Amino acid sequence: MTLREATSEFLKRAGPIIFPDKQSLEACARSLELLKTYFAHEKALSEIAPAELRDFLARWYIEKSASISFSLAPQILCDSLEFFFKWAEEAAALDDAKQHLQLLAEVRLGLPRALEITALLTRRLAEQGGAFTFPEFLTSFEEGGRSQYDLDAPGEALAIEGYFRVTRIEGVMVEAQEIISDDLVWPIIFPADVVSHLMTDFIINLELARNKEGWHIVACGFAYPPGTDI
């Protein structure tokens, strides 16, 4: 059975029972349409590997969610896929269904948080007009402190860009490992409202600039749940 055939059969037979109201059924249909957009419509349902499903949810969906046309709440997406794969386990004899359901249980915890981190960090950067500065943090490092820093100061500023996996969180200071070089970077200074959403093993695309107080966020891309293959 192809993915197109399976999703069509599910929406025709099981969908109206699981989602009795029109709005919920339409949201489920949109979720399955995204699944078919990522995979080929004629791909055999049995050929969808758990690693591919993780990439669909944890990377592709997050990156596409920036587009209004792809906007769909992560909880609705995960619920729809959970019902679909439970149905497929019996109706389509899908051997990998249990693995897909286990993966969904893992990803649904980090997916909304990753989207929130991306939105908050992007908004804070826009509000600040660039790199973050925290006078209350900087004063703890040198008597008298500083309220700003100069990225072009000789001998002070360095810049790095990459995907960073969070390894330690202490207040607004975060340690992260750049996933290509494996270099540990500490301390990266985050705004308090963003760091409250962070957990270890989250991955964030960051551009950083350093002075003697630490690493400051200059620009950001997306945040991804733990286990995402970047």
Task: Give the tens place of pLDDT for each residue, 156-184.
Answer: 448 999 999 999 999 999 999 999 999 99
> Which pLDDT value is given to residue 131?
53
Q: Look up tokens 């019996």; give the residue.
A: 90
In sequence order, what are the residues at sequence separation of 6 or more whose Cβ sits closer than 8 angstroms to the Cβ of residue 159?
A: 151, 207, 208, 209, 210, 218
Q: Is 196 helix (H, G, I), strand (E, B) or coil?
A: coil
> Which pLDDT value is given to residue 72?
83
β-pairing verdict for 184-189 and 214-224: parallel
C-alpha 203/C-alpha 221 separation (Å) is 10
In sequence order, what are the residues at sequence separation of 6 or more whose Cβ sits closer than 8 angstroms to the Cβ of residue 103?
A: 50, 53, 54, 57
In sequence order, what are the residues at sequence separation of 6 or more whose Cβ sits closer than 8 angstroms to the Cβ of residue 150?
A: 156, 157, 211
> Which pLDDT value is given to residue 70?
65
pLDDT under 50: residue ranges of the chain: 133-153, 155-157
> Which pLDDT value is given to residue 215?
96
C-alpha 81/C-alpha 76 separation (Å) is 9
